[in-house]
Structure 1
Amino acid sequence: MPSHPPALVLLLEDEAIIAIDAEEMLRGMGIGNVTSLDTNEATLLWLSEKTPDLAIVDPRLKDGLCSGVVADLVERAIPFIVYSGDTQGCDRRARILWKRRLAIQTLHAGSV
């Protein structure tokens, strides 16, 4: 049986301690290839050269909301998970997109 390299996970988080904790959890799950970034600028540069298998996204990075990053992920069909402890800070469009994504995921889950 051929072995597969671990998935490349892009972790977007502006709080260093949270990023370190998330990296450790992912590695504990057997995902050894994790790249953590904390700004939109660094992320867009990284994405211009690489394609992750999955992105885990905190919507608010050090240099603002990551709408451009998420648009790039969607355009390139890169799956992503949005997580945040800041429910008040999300703008209206982000909440609509999040609800739409949840509805699509629910529909797909029901059809499987």
Structure 2
Amino acid sequence: MVQPRILVAEDEAIVAFDLIETVEEAGFIVEGPHRDISSAMLAFQKQKPDLAILDIRLGDGVVYPLAQRMADEDVPIIFHSGNHSHEEIASRFPHALALAKPCPPAEVLGAVNEALETQ
């Protein structure tokens, strides 16, 4: 069975490392980390992921245009941010999940599994 591919867009190196380590240890394939929207968009265009974990503010701006593109193509999204309200995320992307930074690995994996199950 092919493991799901998860695109990670996170510009904080330590946070990105923790996210990647968490999902790789659970057996998922990781694309990233992408530190900016343009890099993440290019990766998305090359190969559509099964899921995306996105920080809202990356090195080159707010990730909402990328998230909208992914949502339009039915890619489940988990927003992972410490600076944005869950209400704002829910109003823009009602089917997305949102995790607050810092987030324990068990919560990240719970959200990943939930998002993939609803796909």
TM-score of the superposed pair, with normalisation by structure 1 = 0.75
Q: Which residue of 2 aligns with 1:78?
A: 75
CA RMSD of aligned residues (A): 2.0
Q: Which residue of 1 aligns with 2:91?
A: 96
Change (3 A) 1:64 1:95: farther
Across the two proteins, how many residue pairs are aligned to each other?
Answer: 95
Point out the structure with the larger strand share. 2
- Structure ID, larger Rg: 1
Q: Which residue of 2 aligns with 1:110?
A: none
1:72-98 CA-to-partner distances (Å, cap 9, x unmatched) read 10111111111111137x9x9646215
Q: Which runs of 4+ in 1 moved over 4 A?
A: 92-95
Give the alignment of 1:1-112 within 5 angstroms. 4-31=1-28, 33-35=29-31, 36-87=33-84, 94=89, 96-98=91-93, 100-101=94-95
Structure 2: 5+ residue runs without aligned partners? 97-119
State the 1:24 CA deviation: 0.6
Change (3 A) 1:6 1:68: same
Change (3 A) 1:87 1:93: closer
* Identity of matched residues, %: 27
> What is the identity, as a one-letter code, of the residue corresponding to 1:101?
H
State the 1:54 CA deviation: 0.5
TM-score of the superposed pair, with normalisation by structure 2 = 0.71
Question: Any idea what SS the aligned residue of 1:11 has?
Answer: strand
State the 1:71 CA deviation: 1.0
